[in-house]
Amino acid sequence: MIDVVDKTYRDIKSMRVRGALDIAISASSTLRRVITSDAKNTPQLLKKLKRAGKKLKSARPTAISLPNAISYILYIADKNSHLELDEFRKKLLGDIDKFIDEQKSALDRIAEIGSNLIEKNDLILTHCNSDTVDTLIKRAWDGDKKIEVICTETRPRYQGHITAKELSSYGIPTTLIVDSAAHLIMKELDIDKVIVGADTIYASGDMINKIGTSQIALCAKELDIDFIVAAESIKFSPQSFVTEFGVIPPEAAYPLLRERFSWELEI
């Protein structure tokens, strides 16, 4: 069972699992497997569950959906720790399944609300990759809005390529641009709206998203362009200020660069 927790930890940390919904579901599903693992009694299983939760929480510090999902499950576990083992398992498994279903429903609801903010023939700029934003834009397209989308490539992991492929394969006219061209494109092409996702939304109203989001937000403010953040409530944090940022270590960044450039980088 430790191997399952470690694998999920590595997948989330390395961004093989990305996006708030996928992260929350991956962590929840892993804790679900911990709940079905061998244990002699409820206290022993609760201890295993808390140990796994602590490990998983540290995988992605800026993605609040991860600790929120884990904290919710551990709260339910603590609240029902008086139950015998079989009843304890049954209660937690049912609540986790319900929680996962609610997160999927939230994505659909945001797409419904957000698509109503998009006008026919809007030219939209996106940054990074967000399942929430992708779903929202697709919903607007299905509503015959006839939109077009500009995607920043979003270095160093190039998540914008994922967005561009996802939307273009859906039939939506999509253009991929380098990150540094964002202001020029927003100004020269008269972008109508910028729509981004979020890793975390703090109690102060500040939000954390992929590096480069703040520059695009400032450009939107200067050019009087609507800037929309599409996010589920699982991304809300009770903290009132930013405490840490995600940093890509050099050993992870260099292979990404070498894959895309013909010259050799010195390490």
In 3D, which of 9, 3, 10, 11 has the Cα closest to residue 55?
Answer: 9
Specify the amino acid at residue 98. K
Return per-residue pLDDT of the chain as tens, 267 residues.
Answer: 668 999 999 999 998 998 888 999 999 999 999 999 999 999 999 999 999 999 999 998 778 999 999 999 999 999 999 999 999 999 999 999 999 999 999 999 999 999 999 999 999 999 999 999 999 999 999 999 999 999 999 999 899 999 999 999 999 999 999 999 999 999 999 999 999 999 999 888 899 999 999 999 999 999 999 999 999 999 998 876 555 555 555 555 445 445 554 444 443
**CA 74 from centre of chain:** 21
Are residues 39 and 148 both part of a single domain?
A: no
Residue 86 in any domain: the answer is yes
Active-site residue list: 128, 199
pLDDT computed for residue 171 by the predictor: 98
> Quick one: 68 and 141 in the same domain?
no
User: Which residues constitute the domain of residue 9?
Assistant: 2-109
pTM for this model (two decimals): 0.84
Q: Which residue, 75, 109, 143, sits at the end of a domain?
A: 109
* Domain co-membership, 45 together with 138: no
Please give the tally of structural domains in the chain.
Answer: 2
Structure tokens at 29: 């599903």
* 267 in any annotated domain: no
- Indicate the helix (H) or strand (E) that contains 264: none
Mark whether 124 and 230 lie in a shared domain. Answer: yes
Shared-domain flag, residues 54 and 86: yes
- Tell me, yes or no, whether 89 and 193 share the same domain: no
**Residue carrying the six token digits 């992605």:** 60
Residue 150 in domain: yes
Report which of 72, 4, 79 is spatially closest to residue 38, judged by C-alpha positions.
4
**Residue 224 falls inside a structural domain:** yes
- CATH code of the domain containing 133: 3.40.50.10470
